[in-house]
Structure 1
Amino acid sequence: MVARAVLVAAAASGQGKTTVTAALARKLVRAGRRVRVFKCGPDFIDPMVLARACGAPVESLDLWMVGAERCRALLAEAAQDADAILVEGVMGLYDGTPSAADLSREFGLPVLTVIDAGAMAQTAGALVHGLRAYGPVEMAGVVANRIASPGHAAMVAASLRDIPLLGTLPKQAVSLPERHLGLVLPDEVAGLDGLLDELADQLAFDLAAWDALPAAQIAHPDSGATQGGRMAVAGLPLAGARIAIARDAAFMFLYPSNLTTLEALGAQLEFFSPLADEAVPREATAVYLPGGYPELHGAALAAGKRWQASVRTAHADGLPIVAECGGMMALADTLQDKEGREWPMAGLLPGKVVMQARLAGLGAQAMPTAHGPLRGHTFHYSRLETSQPAAATTQKNPSGAAGEAVYRIGSLQVSYFHAYFPSNPAAVAAMFSRSAA
């Protein structure tokens, strides 16, 4: 299998990276290519949309949170199974520490630059040449978004000089809908597959030029720390554990690798839906409530007496309960949504959560544990008003400044922090162990 791989990047957010990546993935799939897509940096919603576009799971790549060795293993595994690999960047090409450009140079991924050409023509060349020279990075080509006409496209192409214009996308009458945490969830978008097909049809892309790109040269890491893109774990510290995981439209912000890590540790996974008022399964030995959008489902969660009672029973019985961001919000006394309505929640965490218009937390962080730091990130538009003292505080990367509070009440651990489990499987095993709780 000959795989071609590019990093899809831009000068800034809002240029159309996700739209172009999704459209190109769907176009390549329809052309008979086996496509794998990755997302640079921590993200939950974009990968869901990209997975629908390519028909395969989408993992995160990040030199700090995921680690270079695991990133290399994931890319090498994809290169064995696919002939097209697209890695969607994050923010601007050089934004962040580490940046998408750092990822490009680490793995030899040429950059496919997306530019919003809606308000420019020849200046596109200056922008793209500046992006190439600043790092520098290798440039595979350009996709120009919001092109008004063939003449407009010709001016952009001429300005690029030795950098090929591989594709153009016109101004879209319809686009992927968004809300405060990013794109709207795929299952909420009526006719999403039709929209992706429409975007693929509108994307004029030079498939011959794509096929002429050099094959990706990504070898598996020599170390035994990864197996098939997964973290190798000594023994099965969670053998016999049955972890109940909340999963529905209110709780879906979950790295796929978190699930595979729990399974690699020996745990069996069961899923339940608080929105459907399903109780924590009786056989569960631990509970995991990931992030999501509980603020959009306040009435249903407040009315769910069975799920609330079951999670309170689990806590009273000493089962380890790990809740992240939205999961934590649902365990507070009350949740106030953006309209100011206040909903009673499960009441395991004293205080109330209040939605706000201003971003309250964003960025890579690490949580201290007895087994070393557990890496992850935070991203939320709410604040917790509580009298509960923090048991620990995460550290921001790269500054080392104090990040999110981590609260522990008996066997309960909650925080706005989203953990990336493969970064420290031993710490994860301890979190879901009854003896540790």
Structure 2
Amino acid sequence: MALVIAGERSGVGKTTVTLTLLASLRRRDRLVQSFKVGPDYIDPMFHQHVTGRPCRNLDPVLTSEAYVQQCFARHSQLSEYALVEGVMGLFDGVKGSRDEGVGGAGEEELLINGQCLTDFASTAHIARLLDLPVVLVIDCSRLSGSVAAIAHGYRSFDPRIKIAGVVLNRVGSDRHLSLLKDSLEPLQLPILGVLRRQDNITIPDRHLGLVPTAELPELNALINRLADLGDTCFDWQNLLPLLKSEPFPSTEAINRVSPYSSSPVRIAVARDRAFNFYYQDNLDLLQQLGAELVFWSPLEDAALPKDVQGMYFGGGFPEVFAQQLVENSSVRNAVKTAIFQGMPTVAECGGLMYLCEQIIDFEGKSWSMAGVLPTSAVMGGRLTLGYRRAVALQDNLLVKAGTTVYGHEFHRSDLTLTPIQPLFKTYRYDCDENMGCEGWGLPANIHASYVHLHWGERGEIPQQFLKECRKLASI
């Protein structure tokens, strides 16, 4: 058993409720494993800061339904309690199924008034896949009696979903709480938590969501306040049995990989305030395949790590730290030199921006970057967001021509020039809408793309990367 924290929509306080539960459990010295539905990088950072354990993403678009089950089974069994934070509203997903192809309905069909709806990759989908109960977080700041209609609607919408209870968030007063309880009483739906409106618990955000943990010097104080809140606002007597981790039905392991027989290859992984968007499963796979990960900072370090045969730049916020990146000219030059001398390099989103000639920030100011790619990244107001089906147009550092991969885009920058020989032709995941060509594969030892990839069940991707790195090591 474990518990899914879901919201009736985005912005109701799922992350606050999740962190409050995690902080209170950790204060009690409980070993807890957390999971996050969807492709998000930042919420898992907060989970890990509280629990001390990497949060795992559960995303059947980026991986598969089988991988989601296997990932949950493998990691939940190593802890006393397990908690899954949902994404958006409970039933907010995408149309289509990986198994049925783009636009296919697959098994995630729900008939409402005779019409077929789909919620693939939604919180509800994950709850069904893992057979887990759901706690529904409701923002009560602008309602009283209507809370019953919301709770009843969510409980009855899909009978396969087990709503274990609700958490009432942003309750204004004792009188307000009394009205909410009176309205919910006929439903006999347990109230598992009540969070009053909090003025001293705020996590700052910016253009791509919450500000990451590494940039919040007061984060530990905030987590302590959340733990204080969690000690008193939840019905722990009924919550703890729901959170208790129990053996999940065994599933066949996806993507069994074996370490390469030769000596380990060293990969320089950029990880600091500017570059910190990594799926833990990707890093784990590299290590399982025999890579030694050397974490370093393009912001702070004076040079590249020594004796490395590959580089990995994840996403992040290079635009926020552009001045500091510019000032570290020795590292920018070292990165450029290493790439032009043939070092295999993976750069996703923010990493791609770092390899450009310039980043032009929201105020229009230009900042020189590594200068590997003959283009500039320009920050703008338009958000590019969504799952992508990407078809490789050429053999490249990670995949062969014609290979289809599934990824996710989430950025507010665009490039001034597009590549002459792009890596991918991309489509929206839930339809055949052509999203254009993107990704840089020249020089041939780089893979620079806005599309974030989860390698969970695609072990051939890190295998191919490390194969190229070992070629450099043998020279």
Is the structural similarity TM-score above 0.5? yes
Matched-pair contact (CA < 8 Å) for 2:6–2:89: yes
Residue 397 in 1 paired to residue 420 in 2? Answer: no
Matched residue, 1:126: 149
| RMSD of Structure 2 on Structure 1 (CA) | 2.2
Matched residue, 1:168: 194
Matched-pair contact (CA < 8 Å) for 1:359–1:380: yes
Offset, 1:191: 2.2
Deviation readout 1:144-168 (Å, 9 max, x if unpaired): 1101122322322232322111101
Question: Structure 1 CA distance, aligned partners of 2:156 and 2:190?
Answer: 16
Question: Structure 2 CA distance, aligned partners of 1:132 and 1:237?
Answer: 53
Matched residue, 1:205: 234
Matched-pair contact (CA < 8 Å) for 1:75–1:218: no
Offset, 1:238: 8.3
Q: 1:83 to 1:400 in 2, by over 3 A?
A: farther
Matched-pair contact (CA < 8 Å) for 1:60–1:66: no
Residue 406 in 1 paired to residue 439 in 2? Answer: yes
Matched-pair contact (CA < 8 Å) for 2:145–2:179: yes
Question: Structure 1 CA distance, aligned partners of 2:243 and 2:304?
Answer: 51
Instruction: Classify the secondary structure of the residue corresponding to 1:296.
Output: coil
Instruction: Classify the secondary structure of the residue corresponding to 1:398.
Output: coil
Question: Structure 1 CA distance, aligned partners of 2:199 and 2:322?
Answer: 33
1:323 to 325, 347, 353: 347
Offset, 1:395: 3.6
Offset, 1:317: 1.5
Residues 379-398 of structure 1 correspond to what in structure 2 (within 5 A)? 379-389=410-420, 390-398=422-430
Give structure 1 stretches of 5+ with no counterpart. 226-230
Question: Structure 2 CA distance, aligned partners of 1:395 and 1:54?
Answer: 37
Matched residue, 1:196: 223
Question: Structure 1 CA distance, aligned partners of 2:333 and 2:29?
Answer: 50
Question: Structure 1 CA distance, aligned partners of 2:66 and 2:298?
Answer: 37
Offset, 1:307: 1.2
Instruction: Classify the secondary structure of the residue corresponding to 2:358.
Output: strand
Residues 17-416 of structure 1 correspond to what in structure 2 (within 5 A)? 17-97=14-94, 98=120, 99-136=122-159, 137-160=161-184, 161-174=187-200, 175-203=202-230, 204-213=233-242, 218-225=247-254, 231-234=255-258, 236=260, 240-366=264-390, 368=392, 369-370=399-400, 372-389=403-420, 390-403=422-435, 405-410=438-443, 411-416=445-450
Give structure 2 stretches of 5+ with no counterpart. 95-119, 393-398
Matched-pair contact (CA < 8 Å) for 2:347–2:448: yes
Question: Structure 2 CA distance, aligned partners of 1:79 and 1:322?
Answer: 30
Q: 1:242 to 1:395 in 2, by over 3 A?
A: farther
- Return the letter of the residue paired with 1:370: K
Instruction: Classify the secondary structure of the residue corresponding to 1:288.
Output: strand
Instruction: Classify the secondary structure of the residue corresponding to 1:91.
Output: strand
Q: 1:241 to 1:395 in 2, by over 3 A?
A: farther
Question: Structure 1 CA distance, aligned partners of 2:465 and 2:243?
Answer: 44
Question: Structure 2 CA distance, aligned partners of 1:272 and 1:216?
Answer: 35
167-176 or 78-87: which moved more?
Answer: 78-87
Matched residue, 1:418: 452
Matched residue, 2:110: none
- Return the letter of the residue paired with 1:166: L
